[in-house]
Structure 1
Amino acid sequence: MPGEGSRPAVAPAAGQPGDPHLKLVGRWDTTSSSTAYTPYWAGAYYRVGFTGRTVKLRQRNAIDLWARIDNGPVKFYNDVKGTVNLTPTALSSGNHTLQVNYQVIAGSYHGDAVFQGLVLDSGATTFAPPAPSKLIEFIGDSITVGTTSSQNARTAYGWLIGERLGTEHTQIAQGGACLVATSDGCVSLDRQFTKLNPNASTPDWDFSRYQADAVVINLGTNDAGHGVSSAQFQTAYGSLLRKVRTAYPRAWIFALETFRGRYVPQTQAAVQAALAAGDSRISFVDTTGWLDSGDLTDSVHPNDQGHRVITDRLAPLIAARIGT
């Protein structure tokens, strides 16, 4: 008789962690627990197709989240936990799609962002939803997170560009982040870009989980306030460009001039050095004049209009390079 070790693994139930029809976008921890998945960084989301007329979401503890069924309105669920009913009014019979993302505050999830599975109708099943073939990754700080915009990550330029161009999109961004590691503890994207979690030194992220077709870097706004010198910034920018290229050999990299115009010569110099070293798939993006005072919530963060302005300017540049 076959031994215990030879028994076939039991397939996960429909809609539960491990379901191959569950499309996770962004950096999710799927190895720490077989019954709960945890997203990190801003703007991670999941999408799944399901049958039946109702769907509920299992959440461990309180969390703010956004959910959209089919092409219906995006609905906000404030401070919900346990079994969250997403269909108080039953749907029509047939195939449906669900997309969920958790609300972020300055890059940290507002509550317990842990996915524990779906509750479906008796006899219902899941299916793989239609998925874009390309992905754009946006690296940055609170501006890329969407801080002060109406729906944070969902109304930030990275999310808007991905939706406009019909691509998947990730926001590897943290509120208050710097490019350079500083003695006063500013989160360093040069250091943390390769990590699963923006606030932990381990584990490393497995870049084979997905490959980006384009990467947009928007960093430098916070470094000046933490005493980062021009030389330090340029060195770190070059380091980050090399890490991005190693992670995504085919991606087109866009290095944005920060909207406040900080470290512009150093950003340009790092890009020129990469080009001189043979990396031909990289561009410096001059953002001078993109935003005015009416596009900002304060002196730093774009409002909803500002993020739309950035989207209008940047989306065509990306589309021209990756063919969306």
Structure 2
Amino acid sequence: MKKCVCVLAMLAFAASAFGGEALDPSLKSHLYFLGRWDHRATGSYASAPNANVQFNANAKSIVFDLEGYSRWRFDVDGKPMSYFETKGHKITKKLGAVGDGKDHRYRLIKISESNPGEVCLHNITLDASGKFGPAPAPSNRRIEFVGDSYTVGFGNEGTNQDPAEMEFEKTDASKSYAFLLSESLKADFQVNAVSGRGLVRNYANIAPGWNLVKLYNYTVAGVASTSTDTVQWDLNQFHPQVIVIFVGINDFQGEPPYADKRVFSAAYARFLDKLRAAHPNVKFLLLSTKVWPNDDLTPTVQAIYDEQIAQGHRDVEFKVLQTENVGLLGHPDVRAHQEMANTIRPIVARLGGWLSR
């Protein structure tokens, strides 16, 4: 086990006041958005990793009008077709489609984190003979992931030898345990995770006051602290059956002072109660791992779990993950993320009632 340095992804990109027109209302009826998106007059905005848009189409080519800093993965029928980057200014990205005269399912996935910042999807157009099909149907399985850089997939394509400044190039959220697990269970999902943030105390006390509990309230968390018109997220828009909570690494790691355990535990319990009230019958998986230097996280979350059980709650499970942190800045690499997904898959499937019979 190597120590993890869960730093804030210090992308030196200011939040932008993007321009342009919103998606055509007739087009929206063909699209299925997953993750937190803010649909405004100038486009559809997001900051969370793995936010994506899906649609069915019979086309030879597809054009995306995009703005903001991000890495993107373009899928056809659930398999990666291409990867590309946007570097802030508005671009028109034309991508080849299957073009065999049949409908196929396409998906554009935001595989990097906007921290700080946001991206904007202005439009999607097909070639002259292309046609959109009906919007994809939602899955009857829904998972939410709440966490920090581990859940983002920060630096999972890098190594400890890579320069710290390569977090943009070396992060692929579609290779995170959250994405891999959701795909294997054929579940719709949200990843509400922000690198460097703790439940009550952020890594090295960065961005005081803007911890995970506060950022969780916003649709586009990447600009919540700088934008006066950022909207709050409506919890009724996505009701998960299982919520995986992997928080606290940044509360108890790096340079002291660390979070007060009593304050942390109280905030954790309040957060669980908030989610229970918003999502009746939801189940929770509480995750922990070894942290440096004092390894305070696991006994603290264990005590929270024990107290929940003592209070009569039967909707929680607890699991400690062992990871070899050989990715960028001591984070889990792609192999470790696959192992994490494999480890918790049977627990999440049981909590969701999705075990095969």
TM-score by length of 1: 0.84
Could you say if the C-alpha distance between residues 43 and 262 of structure 1 is closer, same or farther in structure 2, counting changes exceeding 3 Å?
farther
Give me the whole-angstrom Cα distance separating, in 2, the residues matched to 1:234 and 1:72. 41
Structure 1 residues 7-22: aligned runs within 5 Å: 12=24, 14-15=26-27, 19-22=28-31
- Deviation for aligned residue 1:127: 1.5
Q: Does 1:309 align with 2:348?
A: no
In the alignment, what sits opposite 1:175? 195
Could you say if the C-alpha distance between residues 239 and 71 of structure 1 is closer, same or farther in structure 2, counting changes exceeding 3 Å?
closer
In the alignment, what sits opposite 2:217? 194
Give me the whole-angstrom Cα distance separating, in 1, the residues matched to 2:32 and 2:82. 20
Q: Does 1:185 align with 2:207?
A: yes
In the alignment, what sits opposite 2:353? 323
- Deviation for aligned residue 1:63: 4.3
- Deviation for aligned residue 1:230: 1.6
In the alignment, what sits opposite 2:149? 142
- Deviation for aligned residue 1:149: 1.1
Runs of 4+ in structure 1 deviating by more than 6 angstroms, as ranges, are none
Extract unaligned runs of 5+ from structure 2: 1-22, 158-170
Give me the whole-angstrom Cα distance separating, in 1, the residues matched to 2:338 and 2:29. 34
- Deviation for aligned residue 1:112: 5.8
Extract unaligned runs of 5+ from structure 1: 1-10
Q: Does 1:161 align with 2:181?
A: yes
Structure 1 residues 220-259: aligned runs within 5 Å: 220-224=248-252, 225=254, 227-259=258-290
- Deviation for aligned residue 1:276: 3.4
Cα deviation 1:258-277 (Å, max 9, x = unaligned): 34343222212222333333
Give me the whole-angstrom Cα distance separating, in 1, the residues matched to 2:327 and 2:176. 13
Give me the whole-angstrom Cα distance separating, in 1, the residues matched to 2:71 and 2:316. 37
Give me the whole-angstrom Cα distance separating, in 2, the residues matched to 1:51 and 1:126. 7
Give me the whole-angstrom Cα distance separating, in 1, the residues matched to 2:93 and 2:329. 38
Cα deviation 1:9-43 (Å, max 9, x = unaligned): xx94553xxx122111111001x32x410013222
Could you say if the C-alpha distance between residues 116 and 97 of structure 1 is closer, same or farther in structure 2, counting changes exceeding 3 Å?
same
In the alignment, what sits opposite 1:7? none
Counterpart contact for 1:145–1:171, Cα < 8 Å: yes
- Deviation for aligned residue 1:166: 0.9
- Deviation for aligned residue 1:218: 0.7
Give me the whole-angstrom Cα distance separating, in 1, the residues matched to 2:263 and 2:333. 31
Could you say if the C-alpha distance between residues 262 and 45 of structure 1 is closer, same or farther in structure 2, counting changes exceeding 3 Å?
farther
In the alignment, what sits opposite 1:6? none
Counterpart contact for 2:118–2:220, Cα < 8 Å: no
Could you say if the C-alpha distance between residues 227 and 286 of structure 1 is closer, same or farther in structure 2, counting changes exceeding 3 Å?
closer
Could you say if the C-alpha distance between residues 215 and 71 of structure 1 is closer, same or farther in structure 2, counting changes exceeding 3 Å?
closer
In the alignment, what sits opposite 2:82? 75
Q: Percent identity?
A: 24
In the alignment, what sits opposite 2:108? 100
Q: Does 1:29 align with 2:38?
A: yes
In the alignment, what sits opposite 1:52? 59
In the alignment, what sits opposite 2:172? 152
Counterpart contact for 1:135–1:168, Cα < 8 Å: yes
Counterpart contact for 2:59–2:98, Cα < 8 Å: no
- Deviation for aligned residue 1:298: 5.7
Match for 2:315 among 281, 291, 302? 281
Give me the whole-angstrom Cα distance separating, in 1, the residues matched to 2:68 and 2:299. 46
Letter of the aligned partner of 1:103 in structure 2?
Answer: I
Give me the whole-angstrom Cα distance separating, in 2, the residues matched to 1:155 and 1:282. 26
Q: Which moved more, 1:113-122 or 1:207-216?
A: 113-122
Match for 2:244 among 204, 212, 216? 216
Counterpart contact for 1:14–1:126, Cα < 8 Å: no
Give me the whole-angstrom Cα distance separating, in 1, the residues matched to 2:119 and 2:329. 30
In the alignment, what sits opposite 2:124? 118
- Deviation for aligned residue 1:60: 3.6
Aligned length: 302
Could you say if the C-alpha distance between residues 298 and 82 of structure 1 is closer, same or farther in structure 2, counting changes exceeding 3 Å?
closer
- Deviation for aligned residue 1:245: 1.5
Letter of the aligned partner of 1:24 in structure 2?
Answer: F
